[in-house]
Amino acid sequence: MFGQSIDQGKKFMYYERYKSAKEVFQSIVDKEPNNETAIYYLGQAYLGLEDVAAAKKLYLEKMAANPNSPLILAGVGEIELMEGKKADARNHFETAISLSGGKRIDVLNAIGYANANPDSKNGDANYAIDVLKRATQIKKFKDPEVLTNLGDAYRKFADGGNAILSYNAALAIDPNYARAIYRSGKVYQTQGVAQEPLYMKYYNEAIAKDPAYAPVYGTLYNYYYNTNVSKAAEYLDKWLANSDDDPKACFYKASMKYAQGLFADAIRNADNCIASEGANPYPNLYGLKALAYNRLGDSLNAKTFYELYFQKQNPDKIGAGDYASYASILLKFPGNEDKVAQLVNKAVELDTLEANKVSYLKTLAQAFDKENRTLDAAKWYGKVLDVKKNYTNVDIYNTGYAYFRAGQFDSAAAKFKLYTEKYPDDIFGYYMEGKSYAGIDTTGELGLAVPYYEKAIEIGEAAPDKSKVKSQLSGAYRYFIEYYYNVKKDQVTALSYVDKALVLEPADEQLLSNREFISKNDPNAPPKRSSGTRTNNKK
């Protein structure tokens, strides 16, 4: 009887119906207080319900009564991993393996699962791969759950190829194992929107194989939340219909109001949820209110509710987007710049998508730019170059020009050197390198800018369409007018550059004035003596 109940409970776990699973396993533990399988899964159900304290209490109490239970030791190790106690966790995992002789698939799977979650910073993916591989070598192995966990471990290890192979191996055992199909889609989704046809294929296939598998609906709800409200609402309904009654359902419904642009309604609904949930409302409700107030232009309330959200939310549950959104709100309040920088760095650290990392960094850089804090802007634009694998000329320009505007000409020159190395046929990099060195060598006596302006002219004069390089070519000519007249004292060459510039801008008054002045004043001529007033000393 209990074997059937355990299987039913495990099925609820598979569908992420943790409340139902908890009820099943609790009923078994009440009748069989030392049933290690029921104890282990009861703890897992608590973790699924985000009640870490209850899981910890259960595992520690049961370990005291059953110190040689491998599954309970594995559960304790998982809690220790979540608490950052890596050495203690590893000790309990190894003890569990030793006590089971390394021959129990369920024990190895529990340890591998604890370390394999790709969405958690806890755990050792290498260790998970090793332990789960050992499980697959045990005689008569045929468990798709183990292979799916192995795929997750590879995904955590950033080895998408082996992750897909592991998921496929799980499906070879059970072609209808929707979790493996769904997880395959997650591999491709982490690679960015370019892979949308692939991950959508897997998600739709998972639904076709098992329409009751709720997690895929949750992923699709989140995916469409910002881009297609009607689809998001459709998937939310399916997600909730295939899940246990969940206090978070109230949040999700309020969140849909936000997605629909009904920000005041979102706040009212969130307030109703908070009022109905007693002493410990779902923390995300405060984050939702912060976002809604921000969209209504109420920065003060947005800041207040983000502070509440960060106070009440488990730090492990705070996502990259939360840090980035809070940072953007805090930027509106002077004096918070250091905290903003910490928040953005945290967002970049947590996010796995390059496009998101770049967006966080650019948002902060642009905010500093808007406030004319150009040196700060330059530093944050520079971080884009560190994060972005294939940065563009615009990315380099943003960094270099911000340094240039800040008067940091050495740093500007270094960035525009990078520009010329990546885009050697583009006039702009050489031109700005010249301007940067001209900022260092302000009199031109050292000639630091000369080779860069010469290269800019070489490229500009060879360009078939001068209109596209007119500004840079004219700027380089103007530099050499002054350089050859004032530094080199070369009237002829200075005039030649005036004439070149006049071809581009024939009506330019400054150039016409320069031509007249230079042609009439030899820079090598001795300075004219000023004529003084004659005085008559005779009395």
pLDDT digits (tens, 9 = 90+) for 381-400: 999 999 999 999 999 999 99
How far the first Cα of the chain sits from its last, in Å, is 138
535: pLDDT strictly greater than 50: no
> pLDDT for 457-483, tens place per residue?
999 999 999 999 999 999 999 999 999
Q: Is the pLDDT of residue 82 over 90?
A: yes
Which tens digit of pLDDT belongs to each residue from 169-215? 999 999 999 999 999 999 999 998 999 999 999 999 999 999 999 99
| Residue 509, in any domain of the structure | yes
Please indicate, yes or no, if residue 478 is contained in any of the structural domains.
yes
CA dihedral 389, 393, 396, 397 (to 10 degrees): -160
> What CATH code is carried by the domain that includes residue 474?
1.25.40.10
Range of the domain at 458: 416-523
Decide if 423 is inside a domain. yes
CA-CA distance, 460 to 469, in Å (whole number)?
A: 6
Is there a domain that residue 500 lies in?
yes
In a domain, 284, yes or no: no
Q: Which pTM does this prediction carry?
A: 0.68
Domain count across the chain: 1
The answer to whether position 249 is within a domain reads no
Q: Which residues have CB under 8 Å from 173's CB, separation 6+?
A: 142, 143, 144, 147
Residue 424 lies in a domain: yes
Structure tokens, 151: 């795929």
Token pair 């799977």 is at which residue?
A: 109
505, part of any domain: yes
Distance CA 532, CA 268 (A): 86
Q: Encode pLDDT of 412-435 as tens digits.
A: 999 999 999 999 999 999 999 999
Q: Is 262 helix (H, G, I), strand (E, B) or coil?
A: coil
